[in-house]
A and B are shown apart, each in its own frame.
Chain A
């Protein structure tokens, strides 16, 4: 039994401590908003926040999350977090998603990035690209991702 703090709630899971956070979320707890893309920290589809840092949940075992706070797409975009809400709104406004499968991860990366900026700082185009470079979108929605991240950043000033 391990206890995980997910979106502010403690939850126990009866799986091997080496199980990646991704599969504890998806298969054990039924939280399917976080996606499986590569299983090797190469595509970013599984991105969640661990104590506010964007991490790849497909390669991070639950043992690494003990005593830490996991935030998933479900909580980041439920309106309680102003940065997550701004990113969610910008994603809809720019109609970013095509198949949409990678977008949970894209949004979690964008949210962590915007939170990491000093207050009032607007990211450059190169900084946005660099922050989002770990997330693959096979549908090729990158132009709209750029626009949405920039828009969300502006809306947070």
Chain B
């Protein structure tokens, strides 16, 4: 989620959002102190003081921001266990291991004793660069690398100071090693022994960080901290939260986005054993739904299915994918705002021209854990348990919906079963819905926590899709493949318009639609952008704009190479020149390790190549594919990855493979959400088809060595997969692939 340039401007955008909220409520954003010193009375658990508290009980370090305070991030128990709090949603990408690795490196912790835990919407857990709680844009490691190093170094300095005091020696005579402070003559004290004394010491503001050549945790292939818990059913997710008295709600939604509810017959629903209440609740986008609240999910869902509801569909927009495509084609032919504006005169005289139209559908994120959010509401406070990528925006939205101040909202971030963007929503749709249900339940006399849980069908049909897009290109080039003019039109709904991030839309162009177009190729391009308005809610989907722009760009590059009889790798390398060394390095690595151009492929297979930068990382793929009974088959993938310094190579491998599989999901039959007469046609994994193990290619991931500060890897593995696969298929069929899912008929 979020485009590459997002980080540069977001603090201003978010600041604006918060200021607006403050103006409305008169309340300042909280710097709450619920992370009080647990060990103040000498408890077993050592904790460093949280220093921005109003209590004034904590010593010095007042110049540090909440995001810089070790107390909010490191707890050291007397047995030496180090618990690191993560400032992100863990939803598969591995930050619950990566961030503790970074902190533990500078702390010089014993890795076998390092644990991690989830954070909250406390100010300490804001992204240090965005100034808000957010997980997206493959930014967790990128933006918190320095932060977590410094946090670890501060904690280490406090432990050293505690040992120096205990032994009455100069701190300079001490060193640390794997959770132990070591003094002259081999005298030792464990971090666990020192934690309580260290707690009482001032937090140093300035610390010296390690020379990366001394790293012993960062860069080492490390098994995830949660690997065990996730392999025996012990890992808790948001859906697993069970509070005393908790009820579960399932919500009936309109069959067409925005349809009005005209009548409710809930007699049969109320008769279902376990059903407690049937409540009308406001829905996202001004619609209305009906929540059935019951002892558990099955009773609530059975009740929901027994509702007899009437909807007024007469005045509501009914999107139809086939008609939509015709409209998009008409739009593409019209003039519109230009994101790039090169001179197109050379098109008329170009020795060769190429014209192409691309269509990609709506896509559901379909994370394996259905959306859910548990709300415990009281008169002046609300507490939520939810796997959310956007606690910052959610806090503001929750306060607004419930008539509370932001500081009365506590979000306990829960480990999530995937998300891919769906758990980071500018409108906070599923969090707001759970609050509406909680509010209605409380008004109806149920003063208990309520978990709102979506069925898979609710998720598939519930909108917030990757938008459908149409691209049209007309390219003029010479016999050597030099592009003389590239006229390009892009049509698709804007993700950011009308949201809190709307300020990023400039000249009526949403940057999340155009990211990945043009660069790094030095082509004279004119890029016209149209953002039609439709009532289908849209959202970022893992790697956002690059989900379609990489497909379009990288298949067209191959088309030009093929038209001019050039090898697609040689052609790209020549275009990269000296300007794009990371692209060159990633592609070269994939080429070398795959045997591209050298190895003999089995009959019926072809090579495909693509490379793409997104979120500041570059991933190149060399693939082997075939066509079997009209179906595209991906056999083997070799990845070349440039993400600068690698924190956990095992995690990078996992993220590249995982993102590639999600990329593959766009290519294979059934990877589409379509609408007919306003009704979403897919409902579950039977008709929105995602890859299974039988679709999985052999897969090798190779990483370009680098010492530069790390860039993210949650999303960059996705974009280049589809075009590499398509380029191989085009080699086999002689026909370029212009649609996702691939249409080989």
Query: Of residues 708 to 744 in B, which have CB atoms within 8 Å of A's CB atoms?
Result: none
A136-B690 in contact given A33-B234, A99-B416, A142-B696 (Cβ < 8 Å): yes
Are A99 and B693 in touch, CB under 8 angstroms? Answer: no
Interface flags, B205-247, vs A, CB<8A=1, else 0:
0000000000000000001101111111111110110100000
Q: Answer yes or no: B188 CB below 8 A from chain A CBs.
A: no
Max chain A C-beta neighbours (<10 A), residue from B92, B234, B691, B699: B92
B661 cross-chain contacts in A, Cβ below 8 A: 139-140, 142
Query: Of residues 138 to 157 in A, which have CB atoms within 8 Å of B's CB atoms?
Result: 138-146
A92 cross-chain contacts in B, Cβ below 8 A: 223, 227-228, 231
Are A27 and B659 in touch, CB under 8 angstroms? Answer: no
Q: Complex Cα distance A35/B662, Å?
A: 21
Q: Complex Cα distance A145/B299, Å?
A: 34
Say how far A12's CB is from chain B's closest CB, in angstroms: 16
Are B416 and A138 in touch, CB under 8 angstroms? Answer: no
Interface flags, B660-687, vs A, CB<8A=1, else 0:
1110100000000000000000001110
Chain B residue at minimum C-beta to C-beta distance from A105: B368
Are A36 and B240 in touch, CB under 8 angstroms? Answer: no
Are B239 and A33 in touch, CB under 8 angstroms? Answer: no
Are A88 and B690 in touch, CB under 8 angstroms? Answer: no
Q: Complex Cα distance A104/B694, Å?
A: 19
Contact of B232 among A73, A95, A136 (CB under 8 A): A73
Q: Answer yes or no: A30 CB below 8 A from chain B CBs.
A: yes
Are A97 and B658 in touch, CB under 8 angstroms? Answer: no
Max chain A C-beta neighbours (<10 A), residue from B223, B231, B685: B231
Chain B residue at minimum C-beta to C-beta distance from A108: B233
Say how far A47's CB is from chain B's closest CB, in angstroms: 11
Are B694 and A129 in touch, CB under 8 angstroms? Answer: yes
Q: Complex Cα distance A35/B370, Å?
A: 10
Query: Of residues 267 to 289 in B, which have CB atoms within 8 Å of A's CB atoms?
Result: 273-274
Q: Answer yes or no: B408 CB below 8 A from chain A CBs.
A: no
Q: Complex Cα distance A88/B232, Å?
A: 7
Q: Answer yes or no: A102 CB below 8 A from chain B CBs.
A: yes
Are B370 and A77 in touch, CB under 8 angstroms? Answer: no
Are B231 and A97 in touch, CB under 8 angstroms? Answer: yes
Are A95 and B684 in touch, CB under 8 angstroms? Answer: no
Are B231 and A136 in touch, CB under 8 angstroms? Answer: no
Q: Answer yes or no: A40 CB below 8 A from chain B CBs.
A: yes
Segment from B290-298, B528-536, B596-604, B622-630 that makes contact with A = B290-298
Q: Answer yes or no: B307 CB below 8 A from chain A CBs.
A: no
Max chain A C-beta neighbours (<10 A), residue from B233, B239, B296: B233
Chain A residue at minimum C-beta to C-beta distance from B97: A95
Q: Answer yes or no: A117 CB below 8 A from chain B CBs.
A: no
B494 cross-chain contacts in A, Cβ below 8 A: none
Are B662 and A95 in touch, CB under 8 angstroms? Answer: no
Are A98 and B296 in touch, CB under 8 angstroms? Answer: no
Q: Answer yes or no: A28 CB below 8 A from chain B CBs.
A: yes
Q: Answer yes or no: B187 CB below 8 A from chain A CBs.
A: no
Q: Answer yes or no: B474 CB below 8 A from chain A CBs.
A: no
Interface flags, A100-111, vs B, CB<8A=1, else 0:
111110010000
Query: Of residues 460 to 515 in B, which have CB atoms within 8 Å of A's CB atoms?
Result: none
Interface flags, A26-53, vs B, CB<8A=1, else 0:
1110101111111110110100000000
Q: Answer yes or no: A4 CB below 8 A from chain B CBs.
A: no
Are A42 and B693 in touch, CB under 8 angstroms? Answer: no
Say how far B7's CB is from chain A's closest CB, in angstroms: 24
Are A40 and B686 in touch, CB under 8 angstroms? Answer: yes
A142 cross-chain contacts in B, Cβ below 8 A: 661, 691-693, 695-696
Q: Answer yes or no: B369 CB below 8 A from chain A CBs.
A: yes
Q: Complex Cα distance A140/B664, Å?
A: 10
Q: Complex Cα distance A21/B295, Å?
A: 16
Contact of A95 among B223, B366, B691 (CB under 8 A): B223
Interface flags, A1-39, vs B, CB<8A=1, else 0:
000000000000001100110010011101011111111
A99 cross-chain contacts in B, Cβ below 8 A: 91-92, 367-369, 415-418
Q: How many residues of chain A get a CB closer than 8 Å to chain B's CBs?
A: 59
Say how far A44's CB is from chain B's closest CB, in angstroms: 9
Q: Answer yes or no: B452 CB below 8 A from chain A CBs.
A: no
B685 cross-chain contacts in A, Cβ below 8 A: 38, 40, 42-43, 136
Chain A residue at minimum C-beta to C-beta distance from B654: A98
Are A140 and B659 in touch, CB under 8 angstroms? Answer: yes
Q: Complex Cα distance A42/B233, Å?
A: 20
Q: Complex Cα distance A102/B223, Å?
A: 18
Are A100 and B693 in touch, CB under 8 angstroms? Answer: no
Q: Complex Cα distance A39/B454, Å?
A: 11
Are B92 and A98 in touch, CB under 8 angstroms? Answer: yes
Contact of A43 among B302, B368, B662 (CB under 8 A): B368
Q: Answer yes or no: A96 CB below 8 A from chain B CBs.
A: yes
Are B368 and A96 in touch, CB under 8 angstroms? Answer: no
Say how far B338's CB is from chain A's closest CB, in angstroms: 37
Are B368 and A101 in touch, CB under 8 angstroms? Answer: yes
Are B237 and A78 in touch, CB under 8 angstroms? Answer: no
Q: Answer yes or no: B456 CB below 8 A from chain A CBs.
A: yes
Are B226 and A100 in touch, CB under 8 angstroms? Answer: yes
Q: Complex Cα distance A141/B298, Å?
A: 30
Say how far B224's CB is from chain A's closest CB, in angstroms: 6
Are A91 and B298 in touch, CB under 8 angstroms? Answer: no
A100-B686 in contact given A39-B455, A95-B650, A143-B699 (Cβ < 8 Å): no
Q: Answer yes or no: A133 CB below 8 A from chain B CBs.
A: yes
Q: Complex Cα distance A15/B224, Å?
A: 38
Are A103 and B230 in touch, CB under 8 angstroms? Answer: yes
Q: Answer yes or no: B69 CB below 8 A from chain A CBs.
A: no
Q: Answer yes or no: B93 CB below 8 A from chain A CBs.
A: yes
B366 cross-chain contacts in A, Cβ below 8 A: 138
A36-B370 in contact given A28-B296, A140-B691 (Cβ < 8 Å): yes
B692 cross-chain contacts in A, Cβ below 8 A: 133-136, 142
Q: Complex Cα distance A92/B627, Å?
A: 35
A133 cross-chain contacts in B, Cβ below 8 A: 692-694
Q: Complex Cα distance A92/B298, Å?
A: 33
Chain B residue at minimum C-beta to C-beta distance from A72: B233
Are B696 and A33 in touch, CB under 8 angstroms? Answer: no
Q: Answer yes or no: A66 CB below 8 A from chain B CBs.
A: no
Contact of B273 among A16, A39, A43 (CB under 8 A): A16
A38 cross-chain contacts in B, Cβ below 8 A: 456, 684-685
A16 cross-chain contacts in B, Cβ below 8 A: 273, 302
B456 cross-chain contacts in A, Cβ below 8 A: 37-40, 43
A27 cross-chain contacts in B, Cβ below 8 A: 248, 295-298
Are A40 and B227 in touch, CB under 8 angstroms? Answer: no
Are B234 and A103 in touch, CB under 8 angstroms? Answer: no
Chain A residue at minimum C-beta to C-beta distance from B366: A138
Contact of B231 among A107, A138, A140 (CB under 8 A): A107
Q: Complex Cα distance A28/B699, Å?
A: 42
16 inter-chain pairs at a CB distance below 8 angstroms, sorted by A residue, are A26-B297, A40-B456, A42-B684, A42-B686, A43-B368, A92-B231, A96-B231, A97-B230, A99-B367, A99-B369, A101-B237, A101-B417, A103-B230, A136-B690, A142-B695, A144-B654
Task: Give chain A's interface residues, CB within 8 Å of chain B.
Answer: 15-16, 19-20, 23, 26-28, 30, 32-40, 42-43, 45, 72-74, 77-78, 88, 91-93, 95-104, 107, 128-130, 132-146
Besides A92-B227, A96-B227, A141-B658, 12 new A-B residue pairs in contact (Cβ under 8 A), listed by A number: A23-B297, A26-B297, A39-B301, A72-B233, A77-B231, A93-B223, A100-B231, A138-B418, A139-B654, A140-B662, A141-B654, A145-B693
Task: Give chain B's interface residues, CB within 8 Å of chain A.
Answer: 91-94, 223-224, 226-237, 239-240, 242, 248, 273-274, 295-299, 301-302, 366-370, 415-418, 420, 455-457, 650, 654-655, 657-662, 664, 684-686, 690-696, 698-699
* Interface pairs A-B: 5 shortest CB-CB: A33-B233, A140-B661, A101-B417, A100-B230, A27-B296
